[in-house]
Structure 1
Amino acid sequence: MKRRLTWLATAIALLLAATVLAACGSDDSDDATAASGGSGAATAAATSGPSTDGATVKIGILQGVTLAAVARHIGSIDRELAREGARAEYAGPFPAMVPAIEAMNAGDVDITYGSISAAIGALAGNSDFKIFAIERGQPDNEGIIAGRDSGIESAADLKGKKIAVNRAGTGEYLALLALDRAGLTRDDAEFVYLPPADAASAFGSGQVDAWATWSSFTGLAQEKLGGRMVITGGELGSLNDTPYIASTAFADRYPTLVAAVYRGLQEAADWIVANPDEAARLYAEAGLPETVARAQVEAAERLEPITPEIQERFAEVARYVAERGVVPSEVDLSERTIDVESAGK
């Protein structure tokens, strides 16, 4: 038992250590509806607005290794905002998208990011934001991790098991896909709703049989908590892209600053491609095992503006989570996007 608890303590310490990269680098609302660009097309951002001189953009960083954390480390967002006379102010790290959106709802964050499943869940509530870009999902780096003593060898073995998931986010989405794959329903397993840090603790101590998780948490679960990937998001057909969002009030008021953040993120993506060894070192210093850090670098994606094809991916996820009862009704994202490449022009 002492040995097991030591493993667990180490795992949680590594999870918290993932905040290191997000802490690196520089430290230093009106409602309007954008006009529709047509069926499936991204909405064009307004081009008029107040001066950006002296403006502050509050960016919510998520825990772990993220493109935004790398952008902060190399200063690319800060440089792009400085060209507009503005500056960045970083908040977090937040353990997941939902608490970052809660901070946005409170006015403490202007821009953040996370999974499209979590974004849909937030929009089904009272959140008000626009999506201006995505990173394509890394479906092979998310999925269902089985505990060492769970007896789970396939998705079918989830029947009667406890699965740690984050509510209305990536975890619940992946768990439902896995149950569908096995011809099971959500009533055939017990969903244990936990945020990532609590899920890690429950998984490591055997309080749950499996963990539906993503990104660096999959490395933690496998490399430090003795878990095993049963089925990946890729095998499940996951469309769990990472949208970058801005509060509607901020996006309508400062479209040029949203575009500046987008350019800074693109610079960070280019930097990862050009500096894979240094990027992997940064990821490892943030708490990822070396093999996982390297895999993260190799799987890194550029940001993409919102296109009709991406709109359809969003719509497919929105339909799915509505049909499975994750949200009360299907969320229409057609007017929840921004043509970031035209912003301010």
Structure 2
Amino acid sequence: MQRRTLGKLSAALLLPALAPARAAEGETVRIGWLRAPNDLTTGRARGTLEKALAAQGAKLEWAGPFPAAAPALEALNAGSIDITAGSSTACIAALAARIPMVIFAYQKIAAGGEGILVKQDSPIRSLADLAGKSVAVNRGGTGEYLLMRALEKNGVDASAVKRVYLSPSDSGAAFTQGHVDAWATWDPFVVIGVKSYGARVLADGAAIGSDNAVTLMASRDFVEKKRPLLQAVFDTCLDDNRWAQNNKNEAGRIWAEAMSLPPGLAPAIGENNAVPTRGVTDADVAQIEQIADWYVSSRIVPRRPDIAAGVVKLG
């Protein structure tokens, strides 16, 4: 009897090791989505994330849409969501503020997905012409990074350009009404500006020298407790990303619809944003660190966060 009891106990102890990595039944994953062209938006529209998580015995709850990464990260910090998307600049601000989050996917932004816009008839013809002008940016985010990086690269004193801190939607209104001379922004606002607001691109991401990227982020607690579910989300996002690269017009249609934009903008949005996503590499960490160093020297954040400690590498 003792041998039979020990045998049963040994078998019971072995079961967890032999079972496949799978979340407990009834787990919930809360994803905060943005009105933005990224892999989470694609997965939401195609229903792929729900299916992948259901296969893990979990269900998916969508929160949002959030207007930008900053409020989504505030929700993550408050424990209201587990996963969201943003830019590498948003990650730096969040890590500097000690929000308990990690980056688990990285997508370098295409040159056409960022830029500094001016009106078609503006006398501003070069970045040097921004001296003495006003530029709409979002404080501490991608817009401010793009402007400051462009000025630095082109030898323009940052103090010679007035930064007007506005949300993306308020920036668009200020730009169209002539309250600012230029607008430093990203997609879909680059496409909206050019196609709908009579803007031209003064400098795109390549001319600016931008190192910015779209990132997918998760709370530390979620990573520590529900790693199989994070892996399922990551794998599905990679699948959706490959689909988007092979179907740029359809991806653009999905993103335009999610952002309530005219269908005519879809091809340009698809072309600008259907670019490869990958797990975070050492080179990606180094690139974010360069932006973080620049953020500190520009006094956008008070301290340089430990970027490497804010990354989880998934295979």
For normalisation by structure 1, the TM-score amounts to 0.80
Q: How far 1:149 moved relative to its partner?
A: 5.4
Give me the whole-angstrom Cα distance separating, in 2, the residues matched to 1:183 and 1:317: 18
Q: Which residue of 1 aligns with 2:271?
A: 298
In structure 2, list runs of 5 or more residues that go unmatched: 1-20
Q: Which residue of 2 aligns with 1:7?
A: none
Is the partner of 1:114 in helix, strand or coil? strand
> Equivalent of 1:154, from 121, 126, 133?
126
- On the 8 A contact 1:123/1:331 being kept in 2, the answer is yes
Give me the whole-angstrom Cα distance separating, in 1, the residues matched to 2:32 and 2:115: 25
Structure 1, residues 262-305: CA drift from partner, whole Å, max 9, x if none? Answer: 11211211222343443333344455566652233334123211
Give me the whole-angstrom Cα distance separating, in 2, the residues matched to 1:59 and 1:88: 7
> Equivalent of 1:337, from 299, 311, 314?
311
Q: Which residue of 1 aligns with 2:219?
A: 247
- Specify the code of the residue in structure 2 equivalent to 1:270: R
Give me the whole-angstrom Cα distance separating, in 1, the residues matched to 2:75 and 2:108: 25
- Specify the code of the residue in structure 1 equivalent to 2:268: A
Q: How far 1:51 moved relative to its partner?
A: 4.5
- Specify the code of the residue in structure 2 equivalent to 1:313: Q
Structure 1, residues 144-201: CA drift from partner, whole Å, max 9, x if none? Answer: 0013454221101111111111111110100001111331222111111111111111
The answer to whether residue 171 in structure 2 is matched with residue 199 in structure 1 is yes
Is the partner of 2:94 in helix, strand or coil? helix
Cα pair distance change 1:99/1:225, threshold 3 Å: same
Give me the whole-angstrom Cα distance separating, in 2, the residues matched to 1:290 and 1:196: 20
> Equivalent of 1:266, from 230, 233, 238?
238
Q: Which residue of 1 aligns with 2:15?
A: none
Largest Rg, 1 or 2: 2
Within a 5 Å distance, the mapping from 1:155-234 to structure 2 comes to 155-234=127-206
Is the partner of 1:263 in helix, strand or coil? helix
Q: How far 1:135 moved relative to its partner?
A: 1.2
Relative contact order (C-alpha < 8 Å, sep 6+): which is higher? Answer: 1
**In the comparison of the two structures, how many residue pairs are matched?**
294
> Equivalent of 2:208, from 221, 229, 236?
236
Within a 5 Å distance, the mapping from 1:28-107 to structure 2 comes to 51-107=23-79
For normalisation by structure 2, the TM-score amounts to 0.87
The answer to whether residue 308 in structure 2 is matched with residue 321 in structure 1 is no
Is the partner of 2:185 in helix, strand or coil? strand
**Matched-pair identity in %:** 38
RMSD: 2.0
